[in-house]
Structure 1
Amino acid sequence: MDTTLLDSGQLSARLELEMPQPVTDGQGGIVAGYAIVASLWAMIEPVAMPDREQADRAVFSITHRITIRFRDDVTAGMRFRKGARLFIIRAHSDPDERRRYLVCRCEEDGR
């Protein structure tokens, strides 16, 4: 993706950036939870829909490229939320190394 041609008006999807945060389950244990870090504007692009088989059914992992304004606190394992949709960040990069945009490779959680 050539970010030199990116118009900031293309960042038109409102997302919540969430980070993993353990939560107590009330019985002395811990369950996985998430806390909101920020609300931000993004561009969501579907990239691929590889299918794979799991036991007796097909499982689909829809992958996306999500572009946001640069942040240095984004790490793999965080996720974006858009309503009920969840996008888990698998990797990210600064495409032109100018700290303007951050491109995140995400997998949509289809639970």
Structure 2
Amino acid sequence: MSGVTLSRRLTLERPERVSDGAGGYAETWSALGTLWGDVQAKPGRMANGETGMVSVTGYRITLRAAPVGHSNRPQPGQRLRGQGRVFAINAVSEDAARPQYLICICEEEVTP
């Protein structure tokens, strides 16, 4: 990948458990900050979801690097949200060729 254009505004979110008032919990998402990224689609596939078949598309999202442990460094299990879309983060690694960037391997699920 030659030039990287970090032109997509994304919100980094993490899951949180909150009491449901009946002894259990509900999962919500809280924003950690705004990041700018380059979103590249990868080949998609059909998969079984909770309510039937869903279209799952893979994405490679490039972000500016942040140190391990910093709140702006994405982690697997978190997600990126932007322009009405949600990308679940599966893996994060440094870009070996360009250490100033991180690569997030993500998936977006869309019910057909």
> TM-score w.r.t. structure 1 length?
0.80
RMSD: 2.0
What CA deviation, in whole Å up to 9, does each residue of 1:51-80 have, x standing for no partner?
A: 2467xx643211101110012332111000
Residue ranges of structure 2 left out of the alignment (5+ in a row): none
CA contact 2:54–2:110 (8 Å) conserved in 1: no
1:16 corresponding residue in structure 2: 11
1:40 corresponding residue in structure 2: 35
Q: 1:53 to 1:76 in 2, by over 3 A?
A: closer
1:70 corresponding residue in structure 2: 65
CA contact 1:70–1:102 (8 Å) conserved in 2: yes
CA contact 2:55–2:109 (8 Å) conserved in 1: no
- Deviation at residue 40 of structure 1 after TM alignment: 1.0
- 1:92 partnered with 2:92: yes
- 1:80 partnered with 2:80: yes
> TM-score w.r.t. structure 2 length?
0.80
Q: 1:53 to 1:75 in 2, by over 3 A?
A: closer
What CA deviation, in whole Å up to 9, does each residue of 1:25-70 have, x standing for no partner?
A: 232311111110110110100011122467xx64321110111001
CA contact 1:85–1:109 (8 Å) conserved in 2: no
CA contact 2:54–2:109 (8 Å) conserved in 1: no
- Deviation at residue 100 of structure 1 after TM alignment: 0.8
Q: Where do 4+ consecutive residues of structure 1 move more than 3 Å?
A: none
CA distance in 2, matches of 1:30, 1:87: 23
Identify the structure with the greater helix proportion.
1
Q: Using the aligned pairs only, state the percent identity.
A: 33
Identify the structure with the greater strand proportion.
2
What is the aligned length? 104
- 1:104 partnered with 2:99: no
1:6 corresponding residue in structure 2: 3
